Amino acid sequence: MEETRYCLCCGEEVTFNRVEREGKVELTCMFCGFPLSFEEKTIVPMQNIAEETVQRPAAKEPVLASGEAQLRYILMADDSKFTRKIIKDLLVEKRLANEILDFENGLELTSAFAKLITEGKAADTAIILDINMPVMDGISAAKFIRNIESERGLPHVPIAFFSSVKADDNLRNTLAELAPANYVNKSSDPNPDRLAERVEQLLTYFMQMK
């Protein structure tokens, strides 16, 4: 029987690939490519791997220097006030950005992002988007962002989709078109602790982009 790990993107146990990078072994989902965990470049007994799979250890927390923010802005859009609060509280706790702006839909977020570009402040910005939102959904918002970046000749900011929609081939193709972009399944579990664990994956993604 093949080894499996839990993939936050697919929302289920998946088989995985091992990729060696910079002296470490990265485990990635065989279906969506989402990073599952990192291991030191050593031989790990099969028994230990099985135990780790069952326990599902928490993702390594990003480490920031005291008082140092990793990003200038994080713009977040989600129609759930509860979800926005959970995400914002963790972002503030980790001091991942100097300023965190949250919105109820994609239209409000894209308007704010366009303003940052006009003011020359869009550098070192990251985006968090729910997919299903009123007025403007997350995919449409992300495409707008990429279009305006291309028109202005600006580098693409990292985008993370945080939604309960299950990843399929269409979504994975969309992520490739919008790169750098990633997806974390927030699930429908109302437990704040479980939601916080998934938000940690967002933080890890943004840390890896820098």
Mean pLDDT by 10 residues, the chain (210 residues): 68 73 66 62 44 39 50 94 89 87 96 94 93 95 96 93 86 92 79 72 68
DSSP label of 135? S
Q: What is the pLDDT of residue 210?
A: 56
Give CA–CA dist 184/160, Å, rounded.
Answer: 7
Residue 98: partners with Cβ closer than 8 Å, 6 or more residues away: 69, 71, 72, 73
Burial of 186 (0-12, 13-18, 19+ CB in 10 A): buried
Q: What is the pLDDT of residue 132?
A: 94
pTM value > 0.95: no
Q: Give the class (CATH, top level) of 71-209.
A: alpha beta
Q: What is the pLDDT of residue 3?
A: 80
For 189, the 3-state DSSP assignment is coil
Which amino acid does the sequence have at 186?
K
Give CA–CA dist 106/31, Å, rounded.
Answer: 28
Domain with CATH 3.40.50.2300 in the chain: 71-209
DSSP label of 38? E
Q: What is the pLDDT of residue 56?
A: 38
> β-strands 35-40, 24-29: how paired?
antiparallel
